[in-house]
Structure 1
Amino acid sequence: MGTPGRGRRRGFDRDEALLTATRLFWERGYDGTSLADLTGAMGISPSSFYAAFGDKRTVFAEAVLGYMRRYTAIYVDAAGEPTARAAVERLLRDSVDEFTDEDRPMGCLTVSAAMTGGADTIDVRRTLEEQQVALTAVVRERIERDLASGALGAEVDPEAWTEWVRVVWEGLSNQANAGTPRERLHEVVTLALRAWPS
């Protein structure tokens, strides 16, 4: 009896199940995704779901934080560009490509998670906000490096321009959620970057 049980456990791919949950939350939101939706899509029983993830709130938090790691990589890679402007452009364009990837729902799960959900998602949204603050700090530090080197004028306010980047980034995500095509979003990036200080 023990051997078949071990076989069933090997047949359950937790990472794949988490990806399935991520897609459901992305498409339907936290409140719109039921336990039955999750277990049905994963092909497991409620008891197996609880054993693997704990509860819906926990798997939602794990899905959001796991997805956030992808954007962390985008921010960190962009910060390696030779100028702050080039870093911001790469960040925005790579994010647009991520938002509009045809293999996933349009937009950004993390922005959606920050804007939707009830009391069960308050802690998730708080954690997400903390991570977004950490990511925007990457942008601010890149701007401050250009200020220190003289590549940007002393009149440039790094805090204000960091917030500008965040507003543009979140706006692109929201427009992707609304179905704006990738090409149009890249046009918006081009127009937005005209405001960047020379």
Structure 2
Amino acid sequence: MNNMGRHRQFDVDETLDTALCIFWRKGYEGTSYTDLTQATGVERPALYSAFGNKEALFRKALRRYYEHYQDFIPEALKLPTAREVAAHLLYRSVELNTRNPDHTGCFIINGAIAGSDDAEPVRQALIEIREVGLAQLRERFEQAKAQGDLPSNAKADALAAFLLAVLHGMAVQAKAGFSRGMLEAVAEQALSCWPAGSSASL
């Protein structure tokens, strides 16, 4: 009984942050439960008791990633113009993707590189998160069209998909070792072709 009590004597938030970093670096499939126990210093029974299996722990880490590392997304959606929305997302993503040399890229994109049947529920969860993001951008760009901030013939769905494609591509490039400077240049290139509406200042 005493041993079981001692199992839980660890900082849950700190342990979750450590697990998040391991998933961020190695992806869902590339991370074993042994990796998690070694990195956190928490024995397997205690880790299971606190978080559940690897999938459950990944889902908790995913929520923490969104809350602690992607707070710039709701910030971006509130900015006054569609171009400012795009710029904020692009540059803040570059900063996030290159912030720590030990886990570059995007937790969500890295985690999505999963191929086995066992990993399919996680892959689907990540797809659903990206779909939510796509819908939020599409809605924001429809609003920009209605305000004259984007041209009337702009395709909000295509523009949202284009922005996500650039964001996801930059995350993969960061994981592959592209420098922050190069990724910022990619962001600048993407913004250089951003459509301007009738209300845009010349």
Q: What TM-score does the superposition give when structure 1 sets the normalisation length?
A: 0.89
Q: What is the 5 A alignment of 1:77-92?
A: 77-92=75-90
Deviations 1:148-192 (A, max 9, x none): 111221111111101111101101101011010111100111111
Rounded to whole Å, the distance in 2 between the matches of 1:40 and 1:177 is 23
Deviations 1:45-99 (A, max 9, x none): 2211211122122112222232133465222100121100111111110111011
Q: Is the 8 A contact 1:64 1:113 kept in 2?
A: no
Structure 2 unaligned runs (5+)? 197-202
SS at match of 2:28: coil
Work out whether 1:144 is the aligned partner of 2:139.
no
Residue of structure 1 equivalent to 2:91: 93
Report which stretch shifted further, 87-96 or 134-143: 134-143
* Paired amino acid for 1:55: N
Deviations 1:106-132 (A, max 9, x none): 100100111225222211221221111
Structure 1 unaligned runs (5+)? none
Give the alignment's Cα RMSD to 1 decimal: 2.1
Residue of structure 1 equivalent to 2:164: 166
Q: What is the 5 A alignment of 1:1-198?
A: 9=8, 11-70=9-68, 72-102=70-100, 104-198=102-196
SS at match of 1:36: helix
Report which stretch shifted further, 92-101 or 69-78: 69-78
How many pairs align? 196
Q: Is the 8 A contact 1:136 1:166 kept in 2?
A: yes
> % of aligned pairs identical?
36
Q: 1:103 to 1:115 in 2, by over 3 A?
A: closer
Q: 1:71 to 1:125 in 2, by over 3 A?
A: farther
Q: What TM-score does the superposition give when structure 2 sets the normalisation length?
A: 0.88
Q: 1:195 to 1:107 in 2, by over 3 A?
A: same
* Paired amino acid for 1:171: G
Q: Is the 8 A contact 1:65 1:128 kept in 2?
A: no
Q: Is the 8 A contact 1:22 1:64 kept in 2?
A: yes
